[in-house]
Amino acid sequence: MFCFSQNYKIGNAQLLGNCEQQNDYFATEQNQNNLFVVVADGLTDLPAGRYASVIAVETLKYNYHHIEKYSNLLDCFKQSFGDIDYSIHKNITGNKTGAAVICSVIKNKKLVWASVGTCSLYLYRKGKIIPVHNEVQKRIEYGTLQCKKRDILLFCTEGIDKGSSELELKEILSMKKHPYDKAVLLTERIKKRGYSYQKNGTTVIVEI
């Protein structure tokens, strides 16, 4: 799936890995000069993991659609993560689960992001891969980034991050291809390696 915009090019792809079902979930949405991206990874291979990732994404989408209620994006993200925890504990019984999440809004090339857990965000700029967020933290983290024309952003779950190297990410992101083709190539390469421990993987690539 991919779409063209006056401002951004977006591509995404998913990898099942050795799991019985896809427990990652994601969403992208463009509105005028704004771009909303969220990627979630359910923390169990059971159906509860899929449900948790869906709750995370749909909660963030809902609050983003009602952004006028909040004084700023960080307040929106903070409220969203609280809502996610509440909904997971209320609706999923008998299974200890949750979701790792990376979400962001880009407005006028300024990116505001929030994350919890193992999902990652990388910036490719002028031949270099720069980790914006790739540390495993249980607590919520926030940050901002001023993007530039021709920057490339890679949002991904642990299955992509652990299944590829920095050199490979640099090689693929530097290619003269649409972000969709880059995302598919990245997931296909990981799949061909056939790692016995390969988890679900999801990547969203954005070209500024």
Chain-centre distance for alpha carbon 86? 21
Q: What is the mean pLDDT of the chain?
A: 91
Exposure b/e, 73-101, CB count within 10 A at least 16 = b: bbebbbbbbebbbebbeeebeeeebbbbb
Cβ pair 155, 185 in contact under 8 A: no
Residues 38, 101 contacting (CB under 8 angstroms): yes
Q: Is the pLDDT of residue 9 over 50?
A: yes
Residue 43 has what pLDDT?
86
Name all contacts of 188-195 with Cβ < 8 Å and 24+ positions apart: 189/164, 190/15, 190/159, 190/160, 190/163, 190/164, 191/15, 193/163, 195/17, 195/18, 195/163
Is 176 within 8 Å of 152 (Cβ atoms)? no
Question: Helices marked H in 71-178 — which ranges?
Answer: 73-91, 158-161, 166-173
pTM for the full predicted model: 0.92
One-letter amino acid of 1:
M
**CA distance linking residue 105 with residue 73, whole number of Å:** 8
Taking residue 147's Cβ as centre, other Cβ atoms within 10 Å add up to 18
Total domains in the fold of the chain:
1
Query: Of all helices (H) and strands (E), which one includes residue 138?
Result: strand 137-146
- Tell me how crowded residue 113 is: count the other CB atoms within 10 A of its CB: 23
Supply 109's token pair: 């090339």
68-80 per-position pLDDT tens digit: 999 999 999 999 9
Rounded CA-CA distance 130/117 in Å is 19
CATH code of residue 30: 3.60.40.10
Q: For residue 163, name the pLDDT band (cuts at 50, 70, 90).
A: very high
Containing structural domain, residue 31: 2-207
Q: What is the CA radius of gyration of the chain?
A: 16
Q: Find the range with the poorest average confidence among 5-14, 29-38, 99-108, 135-144.
A: 135-144
Confidence at 4, pLDDT banded by 50, 70, 90: very low
Asked whether residue 28 carries a pLDDT value surpassing 60, the answer given is yes
